[in-house]
């Protein structure tokens, strides 16, 4: 069961509205995962969550807290990946070494787009019909899928053009392990490239929407050209002020 399914079941168990259950992020249903959920139950005794039962879910720990858990309130994620039916072990190990040295493009995965791409399809229908979407969860999933698809398109086009780790004028560069970022200038490209190679900086790509893209000049022109054909999705994001 995924995060939303567990949150809905928890709300039903506590006899509260589903919107009163929050979480910092969505967990994939096809994995063994752990995460905190937050239920707003002011003025009530501490519920006995040991009695909460849901197939595929186990309560490990619970306690009261004075602050609500909000989307995005994450320090990070940690994963253990299991590779099965590996046919060429030496080749796989070399690729893993390359990943450690160069990293990998940070694409949004298939789960962002729903089963069979249903979230992205929903976003496209919404963009084409302009019919109001009342369901908050659908709105969130569809808008997220739309932005993620545009981001993936930018990354894919950049991979076609050159090394994804090659800094260009106007790139938005993020300090490794921090949220701070700045825009690359032509005069600094050599030094900035060294810092990217040393993993001090990371090259980012835009999440298109109604706000500023972050990149400037050459990088901005490239990103806008990469998604120029996706006029409907871009118009949807601007219309919904994402």
Indicate if 28 belongs to the active site.
Answer: yes
The β-bridge relationship of strands 181-183 and 37-39 is unpaired
Per-residue burial over 201-231, b = 16 or more CB atoms within 10 Å of its CB, e = otherwise: bbbbbbbbbeeebbbbeebbebbeebbeebe
Q: Which of 28, 48, 135, 198 is catalytic?
A: 28
Per-residue burial over 176-190, b = 16 or more CB atoms within 10 Å of its CB, e = otherwise: eeeeeeebbeeeeee
Active-site residues, by number, are: 28
């Amino acid at each position: 069961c995924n995060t939303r399914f567990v949150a809905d079941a928890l709300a039903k168990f506590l006899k509260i509205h589903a919107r009163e259950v929050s979480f910092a992020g969505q967990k994939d249903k096809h994995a063994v995962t752990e995460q905190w959920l937050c239920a707003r139950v002011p003025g009530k005794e501490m519920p006995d969550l040991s009695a909460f039962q849901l197939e595929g879910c186990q309560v490990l720990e619970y306690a009261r807290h004075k602050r609500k858990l909000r989307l995005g309130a994450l320090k990070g994620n940690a994963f253990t990946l299991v590779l099965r039916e590996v046919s060429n072990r030496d080749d796989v190990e070399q690729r893993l070494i390359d990943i450690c040295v160069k990293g990998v493009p940070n694409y949004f995965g298939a789960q962002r787009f729903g089963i069979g791409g249903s979230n992205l399809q929903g976003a496209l229908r919404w963009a084409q019909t302009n019919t109001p979407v009342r369901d908050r969860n659908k709105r969130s999933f569809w808008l997220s899928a739309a932005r993620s698809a545009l981001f993936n398109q930018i990354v894919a086009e950049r991979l076609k053009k050159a090394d994804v780790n090659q800094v260009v004028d106007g790139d938005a560069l993020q300090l490794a392990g921090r949220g701070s970022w700045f825009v690359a200038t032509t005069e600094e490209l050599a030094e900035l490239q060294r810092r990217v190679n040393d993993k001090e900086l990371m090259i980012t790509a835009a999440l298109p929407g109604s706000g500023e893209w972050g990149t400037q000049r050459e990088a901005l022109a490239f990103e806008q050209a990469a998604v120029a054909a996706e006029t409907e999705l871009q118009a949807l994001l601007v219309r919904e002020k994402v």
